[in-house]
């Protein structure tokens, strides 16, 4: 593609130099030349993202326009900004770019070519171009780039600041998605994850219209071709448990479920690295020592260039962005058949949910809409000593533009059509809440996941949990029988009952917002209150 066509298509004027689809070594050179980062021992590029060390949900808006306005689930998550404000900010961005260098990367989201999205990322940071190169699927040779036409364009300018009083934004930072113009504007933040999640938001809007369920989950495949999905919010063990010996990773975070099966949206991984263990997660740990990996906010010794994954000085949310080919045990094609098992992970800090339970399709829909986990002191600023229940519908509410029941009803239909076995696994506390009980041993959780994926729990007798209404296996190889009955692990059974009923009430209160969009069977699939 020539320079003139690019400038015309994106209304760019007086651009100084366009760096187009640069390979990884060239992007390293540009990043170092511009002072954007340091090369660490063994080759990763270490960068800092400034005061934004995570996503800025309060600064994300969807443009309210006629083509999509009636479909968006407007509210505290999907907040509207006017077309006029978008246009004003777009004009300011075009003026800002005059006389500057830009880095352009053309790529795809979606390993299945039938449903993939063509994306063009235009950015002022070389390392953001490398981030896009790592996280998405590259177009291949230079010849194919001549015929590349983006379905969506992202203009990403970390140094550009909005004026909230004029631009209709919440602050100087903004992430604006315009479905009609097929354009995303990002500014005021250097956090690479905003690029990744903007693409996910677009896919979550477009794919249901094509009969594809977009999912915030990891996926792997066994030696016999059996596919497993792992849903779970941050801290539940989604990445760790899906990277299992003997099974190949399809993807670690975002997938689609079509009539043909599962496919990865991405070409890379964006793993948390804080206190990453070489023993517990050897493959991911190894990626933090490889050329091509981008390490965000990881502490580095500027003299020795050694990194410290245990240092949380800058943030608890340190990250590694690397191509999935950095891992050895992968499904390189990024696709798999229909899932045999669907696992929903929760980290219950109240200590009352069983370590494993079998779910009906209706219960799976209920827990999918609930998206429950619990946060504890130290994981986020402002949390007190008591656990805090967190409900994030579809295990990813910041990225779901449509009504949550659209996704849940699609999930239920696919579960029933393909006979998928559904499970709820608690990686949280046992024997009492956080501060009194103990975190479930990772060895027990791995044994449970192994038993699920090998079909060892299908014929095991189950006991009905009287409060949560789910069926709990009475035995699992490698797990003490008492650990399977959370009430029996508490010293005070009455205290357990009170805590369990308290959490059940939180589930019911949260689910009221979805009750009108699901069947009676789903409405009654939750805990007893």
Residue 145: which pLDDT band, with cuts at 50, 70 and 90?
low
- Residues contacting 136, CB < 8 A, separation 6+: 105, 107, 108, 109, 119, 199, 266, 267, 268
Q: What is the pLDDT of residue 21?
A: 93
Tell me which DSSP letter residue 188 carries.
S
Q: What is the pLDDT of residue 235?
A: 80
Across the chain, mean pLDDT equals: 94
CA atoms within 13 A on the CB side of 344: 31
| Residue 505 pLDDT greater than 80, yes or no | yes
| Residue 109 pLDDT greater than 70, yes or no | yes
234's tokens: 């941050």
| Residue 333 pLDDT greater than 60, yes or no | yes
**Which domains, ranges and CATH numbers included, belong to the chain?**
3-34+56-210 (3.40.449.10), 213-257+338-523 (3.90.228.20), 269-325 (2.170.8.10)
How many CB atoms are located within 10 Å of the residue 293 CB? 27
User: Per residue in 12-45, pLDDT tens?
Assistant: 999 999 999 999 999 999 999 999 999 999 999 9
Q: What is the pLDDT of residue 136?
A: 97
| Residue 177 pLDDT greater than 90, yes or no | yes
Cβ 137 vs Cβ 108: under 8 Å = yes
Lowest mean pLDDT among 231-235, 291-295, 404-408, 510-514: 231-235
Lowest mean pLDDT among 280-284, 345-349, 505-509: 280-284
| Residue 386 pLDDT greater than 80, yes or no | no
Q: Please list the active-site residues.
A: 55, 197, 216, 234, 238-239, 253, 319
User: What average pLDDT does this structure show over 193-214?
Assistant: 98
| Residue 10 pLDDT greater than 50, yes or no | yes
Residue 142: which pLDDT band, with cuts at 50, 70 and 90?
very low
Cβ 236 vs Cβ 372: under 8 Å = no
Q: What is the pLDDT of residue 240?
A: 83
**CA 1, CA 57: separation in Å to the nearest integer?**
35
CA atoms within 13 A on the CB side of 490: 21
| Residue 445 pLDDT greater than 90, yes or no | yes
| Residue 264 pLDDT greater than 50, yes or no | yes
Secondary structure of residue 178 in the 3-state scheme: strand
pTM for the model? 0.94
User: What average pLDDT does this structure show over 196-215?
Assistant: 98
CA dihedral in degrees (328, 282, 354, 511; nearest 10)?
A: -70
Q: What is the pLDDT of residue 377?
A: 45
Burial 40-72 (b: 16+ CB within 10 A, else e): beeebbbbbbeebbbbbeebbbbbbbeebeeeb
Lowest mean pLDDT among 157-166, 254-263, 270-279, 357-366: 270-279
- Residues contacting 18, CB < 8 A, separation 6+: 3, 6, 101, 102, 104
Residue 376: which pLDDT band, with cuts at 50, 70 and 90?
low
Q: What is the pLDDT of residue 527?
A: 94
User: What average pLDDT does this structure show over 209-220?
Assistant: 97
User: Per residue in 46-65, pLDDT tens?
Assistant: 999 999 999 999 999 999 99
| Residue 378 pLDDT greater than 50, yes or no | no
Minimal CA–CA distance to 333: which of 414, 250, 253?
250
| Residue 402 pLDDT greater than 80, yes or no | yes
> What is the sign of the dihedral through the CA atoms of 361, 362, 365 and 367?
negative
Q: What are phi and psi of 16, to 5 degrees?
A: -75, -70
| Residue 331 pLDDT greater than 60, yes or no | yes
Lowest mean pLDDT among 166-175, 219-228, 376-385: 376-385
Strands 213-221 and 37-39: unpaired
| Residue 381 pLDDT greater than 80, yes or no | no
**CA 41, CA 194: separation in Å to the nearest integer?**
27
Q: What is the pLDDT of residue 479?
A: 95
């Amino acid at each position: 593609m020539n320079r003139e066509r690019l400038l015309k298509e994106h209304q760019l004027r007086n651009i100084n130099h366009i760096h187009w689809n640069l390979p990884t070594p060239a992007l390293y050179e540009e990043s170092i030349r511009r002072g954007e980062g340091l090369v660490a021992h063994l080759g990763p590029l270490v960068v800092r993202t400034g005061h934004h060390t995570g996503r800025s949900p309060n600064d994300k808006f969807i443009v309210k326009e006629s083509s999509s306005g009636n479909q968006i689930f407007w509210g505290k998550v999907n907040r509207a900004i006017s077309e006029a404000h978008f246009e004003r900010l777009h004009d300011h961005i075009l003026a800002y770019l005059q006389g500057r260098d830009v880095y352009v990367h053309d790529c795809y989201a979606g390993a299945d070519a039938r449903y993939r999205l063509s994306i063009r990322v235009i950015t002022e940071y070389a390392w953001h171009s490398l981030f896009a190169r790592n996280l998405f699927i590259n177009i291949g040779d230079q010849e194919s780039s001549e015929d590349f036409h983006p379905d969506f364009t992202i203009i990403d300018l970390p140094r550009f600041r909005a004026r909230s009083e004029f631009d209709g934004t919440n602050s100087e930072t903004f992430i604006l998605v315009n479905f009609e113009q097929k354009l995303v504007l990002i500014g005021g933040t250097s956090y690479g994850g905003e690029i990744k999640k903007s693409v996910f938001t677009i896919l979550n809007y477009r794919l249901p219209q094509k009969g594809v369920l977009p999912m915030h989950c990891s996926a792997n495949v066994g030696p016999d071709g059996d596919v497993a999905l792992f849903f779970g919010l941050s801290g539940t063990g989604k990445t760790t448990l899906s990277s299992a010996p003997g099974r190949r990773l399809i993807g670690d975070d975002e997938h689609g479920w079509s009539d043909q099966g599962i496919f990865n949206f991405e070409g890379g991984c964006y793993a948390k690295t804080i206190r990453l263990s070489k023993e517990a997660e050897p493959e991911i740990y190894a990626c933090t020592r490889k050329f091509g990996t981008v390490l965000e906010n990881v502490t580095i010794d500027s003299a020795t260039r050694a990194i410290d994954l245990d240092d949380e000085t800058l943030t608890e949310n340190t990250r590694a962005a690397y191509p999935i080919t950095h891992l050895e045990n992968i499904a390189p094609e990024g696709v798999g058949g229909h899932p045999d098992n669907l696992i929903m992970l929760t980290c219950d800090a109240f200590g009352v949910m069983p370590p494993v339970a079998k779910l009906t399709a209706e219960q799976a829909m209920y827990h999918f809409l609930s998206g429950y986990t619990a946060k504890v002191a130290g994981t986020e600023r402002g949390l007190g000593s008591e656990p805090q229940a967190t409900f994030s519908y579809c295990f990813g509410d910041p990225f779901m533009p449509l009504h949550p029941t659209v996704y849940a009803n699609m999930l239920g239909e696919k579960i029933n059509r393909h006979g998928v076995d559904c499970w709820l696994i608690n990686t949280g506390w046992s024997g009492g809440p956080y501060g009194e009980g103990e975190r479930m041993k990772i060895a027990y959780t791995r044994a449970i996941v192994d038993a699920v994926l090998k079909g060892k729990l299908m014929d095991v007798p189950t006991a009905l949990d009287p409060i949560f209404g789910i069926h709990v296996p009475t035995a699992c190889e490698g797990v003490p029988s008492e650990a399977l009955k959370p009430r029996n692990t508490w010293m005070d059974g009455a205290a357990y009952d009170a805590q369990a009923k308290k959490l059940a009430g939180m589930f019911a209160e949260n689910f009221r917002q979805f009750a009108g969009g699901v069947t009676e069977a789903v409405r009654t699939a939750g805990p007893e209150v």
